[in-house]
């Protein structure tokens, strides 16, 4: 009977970890290449955002409910935080009138899309995919409410050649 108690305790701990701390997620699509690739498996940290341990910061790669259909989850990079002025001119991103250094976006994944200046509203975030020419993001459908963001990508575990922290 001890094995049954140990099994129940293990299941309980696994449920707590998955529900409140870390959740495995499969990346679908190419919008975050080369940082994340299609079918890559990652863990997201749900704990720090849910309980206010850390703030959502510019540069974070986050998972959120898509504002146009909350039955779908998207993964994108935070570009603008509340109060930021965001403008895109010919594919170059400006935050608060300064060009954003984006070493995670290779030249071959850039596009020449422009977006009129906007101020990110309180409680909202401006997000972009790293593969700009194949990303459906804030340039198309606007900002994401903080309440829709439920995790931060932290660790890639599959495929094994991509094992490590998500940048």
Q: What is the pLDDT of residue 76?
A: 97
Reduced to 3 states, what is the DSSP secondary structure of residue 107? helix
Of the residues 31, 35, 138, 156, only one is catalytic, namely: 31
Q: Is 31 one of the catalytic residues?
A: yes
User: What confidence category does residue 17 fall into, taking pLDDT thresholds of 50, 70 and 90?
Assistant: low
Total Cβ atoms within 10 A of residue 16: 10
The CA distance from 54 to 56, in Å, is: 7
**Alpha carbon 99 to chain centroid distance?**
21
Domain boundaries, the chain: 22-158
Residue 35: which of 120, 141, 128 has the closest Cα?
128
* DSSP 8-class letter at 54: S
Per CATH, domain 22-158 is 2.10.109.10: yes
Residue 133: which of 26, 32, 38, 28 has the closest Cα?
32
61-65 and 92-95 beta bridge pairing:
unpaired
The CA distance from 94 to 92, in Å, is: 7
Average pLDDT, the chain: 90
User: What confidence category does residue 52 fall into, taking pLDDT thresholds of 50, 70 and 90?
Assistant: low
Q: What are the CA-CA distances from residue 17 to residues 10, 27, 131 (Å)?
A: 11, 20, 31
Q: Is 76 one of the catalytic residues?
A: yes
Question: What average pLDDT does range 141-164 have in this prediction?
Answer: 92
pLDDT of 164 higher than 80: yes
User: What confidence category does residue 165 fall into, taking pLDDT thresholds of 50, 70 and 90?
Assistant: confident
pLDDT of 7 higher than 70: yes
pLDDT of 84 higher than 90: yes
Of the residues 35, 46, 76, 156, only one is catalytic, namely: 76
User: What confidence category does residue 46 fall into, taking pLDDT thresholds of 50, 70 and 90?
Assistant: confident
Question: What average pLDDT does range 16-44 have in this prediction?
Answer: 87
The CA distance from 103 to 108, in Å, is: 12
Q: What is the pLDDT of residue 35?
A: 93
């Amino acid at each position: 009977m001890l094995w049954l108690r140990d099994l129940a305790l293990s299941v309980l701990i696994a449920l707590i970890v998955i529900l409140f701390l870390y959740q495995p997620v499969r990346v679908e699509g190419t919008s975050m290449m080369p940082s994340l690739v299609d079918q890559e498996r990652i863990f997201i940290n749900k704990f720090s955002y849910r309980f206010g341990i850390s703030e959502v910061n510019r540069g974070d790669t986050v998972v959120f409910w898509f504002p146009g259909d909350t039955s779908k989850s998207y993964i994108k990079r935070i570009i603008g935080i509340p109060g930021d002025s965001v403008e895109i001119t010919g594919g170059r991103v400006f935050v608060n009138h300064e060009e954003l250094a984006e070493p995670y976006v290779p030249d071959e994944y850039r596009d020449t899309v422009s977006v009129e200046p906007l101020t990110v509203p309180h409680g909202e975030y401006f997000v972009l995919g790293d593969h700009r020419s194949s990303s459906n993001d804030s340039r198309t459908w606007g900002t994401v409410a903080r309440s829709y963001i439920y995790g931060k990508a932290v660790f890639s575990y599959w495929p094994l050649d991509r094992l490590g922290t998500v940048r």
